[in-house]
Amino acid sequence: MSFDHFEYKGVKFAHKVHSEKSISYVENELKVLDDDIFNVTYPKSGTNWMIEILSLIKHNGDATVCQSISSYERAPWQETIDFPEQEKKLTQPRIISSHLPHHLFAKSFFKSKAKIIYTMRNPKDIIVSLFHFTKILYIFKESENFQQLIEDFVNGNALYGSWFDHVKGWMQMKDDSRFFFITYEELLKDPRGSVVKLCKFLGKQLDDAQIDSVVKHSSFNSMKENKMSNWTQLTSDILDHAKGSFLRKGVSGDWKTHFTVAQSEYFDKIYQEKMKDLNMSFSWEQF
């Protein structure tokens, strides 16, 4: 995967977005508040979808904030260079996004009562989403060759490092009461049920109409129409809107239209090997 990068404790970060200082700030200096809500994902797993759901839950289903403040400002990524500026503007309970692996997460989180929502996605669909993203986001030097991208992904030669390490690292917290994990596929299959579970985890009581509103305003079509959530406000030197959309397809199983049989078999073999010690099954393995 081709982008200007540096490594921090074995993980690749992008020069224009991150710095050693910005990663170290999170790890060592960020003061986590007990009511903070962290939206943690490996890239392309549904981060922005979860930002929308959490913003709507925070505001009891009222979409006004989602339609007037950009998703990035509502739930900034803590590891980015401009996070300290964004942090000042956040209101409690703060919603903070992150793609950081478990071992680089804010040390102060582990002494707090703050909560983490970890969203995972079928890694083959992540690769497809990433493939299209490399064509439009400025940090990527050239659009990727799909076969090369699969190989880079399985070898952990990617922004934010290995997906396998990310998932295995975070699953160490699976039995912690401050940790809630869900998959993109579950969100797609049962958006309402997922919102109800999230509200329960967050201790938020919403009535039926408010839950319906969360589901409605966080749907793919609503987000695609909302300029505060669809990334269309980014200038074309950052996101090349002529070549594609950030909210691209929003489906599960798009890998079937991109992977050859041989690529799929190659990936599945490595997946089985790398995931076997985790002893867990995930919803994308059943759909």
The residues assigned a catalytic role are 99
Structural contact between residues 53 and 218, judged by C-beta atoms closer than 8 angstroms = yes
Q: Does 244 bind ligand PPS (CB under 6 A)?
A: no
Q: Rounded to whole angstroms, how far apart are CA atoms 66 and 229?
A: 7
- Amino acid in the structure at residue 100: L
Q: Is 283 in the site for ligand PPS (CB under 6 A)?
A: no
Q: Restricting to residues 221-240, which ones interact with ligand PPS according to CB under 6 A?
A: 223
Of the candidate residues 3, 105, 247, 267, the single one contacting ligand PPS (CB under 6 A): 247
The DSSP bridge pattern shows strands 37-41 and 115-120 to be parallel
| Least distance in angstroms from the C-beta of 197 to ligand PPS | 17
Token match 């503007």: residue?
Answer: 89
Indicate the Cα dihedral angle 39, 253, 136, 130, nearest 10°.
60
Residues 165-204 that bind ligand PPS (CB under 6 A): none
Report helix, strand or coil for 166: helix
* Smallest gap from residue 210 Cβ to ligand PPS (A): 18
Tell me how crowded residue 164 is: count the other CB atoms within 10 A of its CB: 19
Distance, CA of 232 to CA of 249 (rounded, Å): 15
Footprint of ligand PPS on residues 2-21 (CB under 6 A)?
Answer: none
d(CA 60, CA 213): 9
The nearest distance, CB 111 to ligand PPS, in angstroms, is 28
274 alpha carbon, distance to own chain's centre:
21
Residue window 116-155: x/- pattern of binding to ligand PPS, with contact defined by CB under 6 A: ---------x---x--x-----------------------
Under rule CB under 6 A, residue 45 binds ligand PPS: yes
Q: What is the dihedral of CA 50, 51, 57, 58, to 10 degrees?
A: 150
- Residue (220 or 266) nearer to ligand PPS, CB: 220
CB of 151: closest distance to ligand PPS in angstroms? Answer: 20
Binding mask 50-69 for ligand PPS (x = CB under 6 A): --------------------
User: Which spans of this chain sit near ligand PPS (rule: CB under 6 A)?
Assistant: 41, 43-49, 125, 129, 132, 218-220, 223, 247-250, 254
